[in-house]
Structures are given as structure tokens and as C-alpha cells.
Structure 1
Amino acid sequence: MTKVRMLRPQRKAAALDTPTDLAPDAVVEISRALNTLLADTFALYLKTKNFHWHMSGPHFRDYHLLLDKHSEQIFAMTDDMAERVRKIGGMTIRSIGHIAKLQRVDDNDAEFVPPLDMLRELLADNKAFTANMRAAHKICDDNGDVATVSMIEVWIDETERRTWFLFEASRGADRTGH
């Protein structure tokens, strides 16, 4: 009896060596920092959308629209982050599982979260995200990656604005019954 052997297509290693003047160690370090930020960005995006979808209460419309705008801004960062990793010759995240391994933003799978708690949780997440971006900024600056430094500075400014809006939207709400 002759055995039939199934041939599988052979995979070749992808030639993804993007030329850069950054040192190989710098590419690894910067890519690691950006991939972790990218995982955080996806996690923060999904949490913001989750709260947007599940918002309720007397300020529904305002909070719903605020979180929609925030989620759009957060999502817009993802492609720039991933492409920056590729531009310097690094490899970026490839799956939801990879995001889950790297993310520092905690998920919230609760069936119901009161609106004020949503805002305060996102406020804390955005503040932590800013601190994590500052750490990545230092890594990029220490390795002479001025382009990534510049991008991170814009993302920090956007995140500080989201933090400010979340703070102001939730400030004093306990006293006014909202």
C-alpha cells in the first residue's frame, strides 16, 4: 500500500527588514514600548466604546457623544503607532491575544456600570495612559527617535484633553445628584 503524502506549501521567512539608521537594539526597545502602547490603545478604545454603548441616565446624550468622540480619537492613534513600529523596522502586534498579553488597561466586563463610574474609570485610565506614553517618550528620546517622540507628544496632548473633559464632566456630580 502506497502512502499518499500531502504537500503543504512551504513558508518562507518574510523579508520585512525596513532600513533605518536607528541601532538594532533601539529598534527592539522602541518597538516593545510602542507595541505595549498600541495594546493599551486598543484596550482603551474598546473600553471607551463599551461605555459609550452602555451609557444611561439623565446625561445620556452628552456622555454618549463625548465617549464616541473620545473613542474615535483613540482609534485614530492605532494605525499611526503600528506603522511607526514598521517604519523603524520592528514587528507589531498581530492578534487580540497579543493585545491581551501586553495591555495594561484593565477591561471592564460588568453588566452595568453607573455613568459617573464610567467617566471616573476612563479618567483614571487616560491618566495612566499618559504616564505610560511619557515612559515610552523617554525610551524613544534616549534612542534618538525624534519622529516617534514628536508623535507621542501629540498623543499625550490629546489624552490630557480627554482626561480634562472626563474630569470636568464628572466633577461635582455627586453633589448635584447626577
Structure 2
Amino acid sequence: MEKINIGISDNDREAIAGGLASLLADTYTLYLQTHNFHWNVTGPQFRTLHLMFEEQYTEMATAVDEIAERIRALGMRAPGTYKEFSKLTKLEERDNVTDAKEMTKLLVLGHETVVRTCRQILPVAQEAADEASADLLVGRMALHEKTAWMLRALLE
């Protein structure tokens, strides 16, 4: 492959892509958890949560593609297996969650984790003048902060 010359050093591209790989793993893990809860939610808030979770996992399905494509644009390989994601993610998965309130709490924690991952990577992208990655990260932070807020509102 020809050398990449987009005005970002090789070291910075590698560091940013590494951070984005963690974001990809967190987002994909949260996507799976949200989809699981969509399928398995029950109770008086069934319709509300079922539809809300569907909106959320659908948005994240698009997001993982955008994150992976940014990693590729930086010239790095995007992780794409459960094994890789399980090593990179900061989210803890829980089996057999059946309570709607517990599902909602876990999703709040997941979205907050994704926000923290974005915040860790953002200064690296900004320092390297990687505006494309910074823009992606700011957008993801805003979306996950809003989603966490909406989910927290259901718990009050």
C-alpha cells in the first residue's frame, strides 16, 4: 500500500486509530446489549422501551460503520470480531437480565462509558489536528450523553 500523507504523522494516526478501535468495541458491545434488551424487555413499559431500544441500536449500527471507516481512512485495520471487541471494550456484559429497570440502568452505564472513551481520544485527535476524527468523537459524545439522559429520565 502506498504511504498515507494526509498531514497526520504515522504515530498520531496509529494512536487515534487505536482509540477509535476501543470506541468501536464499546459501541458494538453496547449495540449488542441494546438489541438483546429490545428482544427481551417485558413489563408495563414494554412498548416504550422496545421502541426506544430499537431506535438506539439502529443508530449504533450505522455508527459502528462510520467509526470503522474512519479507522480505515487513517490507514489502520478496523477490529471486527467478538474476540477483538471483548479485549478492547470497557463495557461489562451481564447475562440473563430480565428486569426492565435493570436493563435501563445498564444502558445508562454503557452510554456513559462510551462518552468517557470518546473523551479519552478527543485530545489526541485535536492535538494531531485530526478534525475528521474530532468531529466524529464530538458527535458521538453528544449523542450518547443525550441517550443516557433520556434513559435516566425513565428511572426517576
CA RMSD of aligned residues (A): 1.3
Residues 45 and 17 (structure 1), Cα distance of their counterparts in 2 relative to 1, 3 Å cut: farther
1:71 corresponds in structure 2 to 57
Provide Cα deviations, 1:2-60, integer angstroms capped at 9, x if missing partner: xxxxxxxxxxxxx3754422101001100100001101110000001111111000110
- Tell me how far apart the structure 1 counterparts of residues 2 and 37 of structure 2 sit (CA, whole Å): 38
1:120 corresponds in structure 2 to 105
TM-score if structure 2 supplies the norm length? Answer: 0.94
Q: Which of 103, 124, 127 is the matching residue for 1:142?
A: 127
Checking the alignment, whether the CA contact within 8 Å between 1:27 and 1:88 is kept in structure 2 is: yes
Checking the alignment, whether the CA contact within 8 Å between 1:19 and 1:89 is kept in structure 2 is: no
Structure 1 segments (4+ residues) deviating >6 Å: none
1:57 partner amino acid: G
Checking the alignment, whether the CA contact within 8 Å between 1:47 and 1:107 is kept in structure 2 is: yes
- Tell me how far apart the structure 1 counterparts of residues 129 and 108 of structure 2 sit (CA, whole Å): 31
1:86 corresponds in structure 2 to 72
- Tell me how far apart the structure 2 counterparts of residues 117 and 77 of structure 1 sit (CA, whole Å): 25
| Larger of the two Rg values belongs to structure | 1
Name the one with the larger helix percent: 2
Provide Cα deviations, 1:83-108, integer angstroms capped at 9, x if missing partner: 11111212211322111111111112
1:156 partner amino acid: M
**Mind listing any 5+ residue stretches in structure 1 that lack a counterpart?**
1-14, 172-178
- Tell me how far apart the structure 2 counterparts of residues 57 and 113 of structure 1 sit (CA, whole Å): 10
1:54 corresponds in structure 2 to 40
